[in-house]
Amino acid sequence: MTLTISRLALAALALSASILSVEPALAAVACGSGNFDAWLADFKAEAAAKGISQQAITAGLAGVTLDQSVLNRDKSQKVFTQTFEEFSGRMVPPRMTRGSNMMKQYGSVLSRIEQAYGVPGEILVAIWGLETDFGVNTGKFSTIRSLATLAYDCRRAEQFRGELMDALRIVQRGDLTPAEMKGAWAGELGQTQFMPSSWLKYAVDFDGNGKRDLLHNAPDVLASTANYLAGYGWQKGKDWQPGSPNFAVLQQWNKSEVYCKTVAYFATQLAHAP
């Protein structure tokens, strides 16, 4: 993603609101036990017991190994300390022209999305730009390998165990192949960086081509992001500035107030752009 740190760090070491509830871990092999292969075999058995097909399990987890670089990144995160002025000043001006062009290019799509979900295009384009530079930098880490690594590590094992299960469900549903599942180091996928649990719950096939594609398909990306915000109570036609109910919804996207204020500021700038 375009940010110099992951969205996890930006939310002060808490996962973004994309992470939903996960099921309790049932692992017989302890996390961080020093035997990743044994842990993975146990996970495969649990996935099968939960109804994930053997085909999806084999396709997703065959040959998966621990990624030490992911653990290093996770352990080296620092609390986000930039002020709103610093962060917005760095992130918004370089993206204003492209953001304004995206508003024009996808104007009819954004209008239909707002009619369907109540979320204005300015908010969606602002998030799109801040997350991945409008889809340019979605990340190159193997999602399944990253999630397996973080699920094996003891720091947030249950959280990421649930996300890994959901990644396999995405494979089983046919949205993506394991090879296509590349994103940020902590498992975020697509042009607005959905965790797998959020992909399963909120991804939509907005252009009607039969596939929910948040990696390559801008209408699906924007509509799915709107569906996420609507799912957390976005109020159509209402303000999005700090203190408003819609700003509280943005904080369900990312718990960092600085990040959410930057989204709101960027969106307001886009609304006033010629």
Give the domains, in start order, of the chain with CATH numbers: 36-76+139-183 (1.10.8.350), 84-138+191-272 (1.10.530.10)
Q: Which helix (H) or strand (E) holds 138?
A: none
Residue 238: pLDDT above 50?
A: yes
User: Which 3 state secondary structure label does DSSP give 193?
Assistant: coil
Amino acid 24: pLDDT: 42
Residue 150: pLDDT above 90?
A: yes
Catalytic status, residue 46: no
Per the CB < 8 A criterion, the answer to whether 172 and 61 are in contact is no
| pLDDT tens-digit map of 153-196 | 988 999 999 999 999 999 999 999 999 999 999 999 999 999 99
Predicted confidence band of residue 207 (pLDDT cuts 50, 70, 90): very high
Selecting among 131, 180, 188, 257, the annotated active-site residue is 131
Worst-scoring range by mean pLDDT, 8-12, 95-99, 161-165, 249-253? 8-12
pTM of the prediction?
0.88
Residue 132: pLDDT above 50?
A: yes
What proportion of the chain, given as a percentage, has pLDDT over 90? 83
Residue 4: pLDDT above 60?
A: no
User: Which 3 state secondary structure label does DSSP give 165?
Assistant: helix
Residue 158, C-beta contacts closer than 8 angstroms, at least 6 positions apart: 22, 24, 25
Tokens of 143: 């999602």
Amino acid 226: pLDDT: 98
* Mean predicted confidence (pLDDT) in 121-126: 98
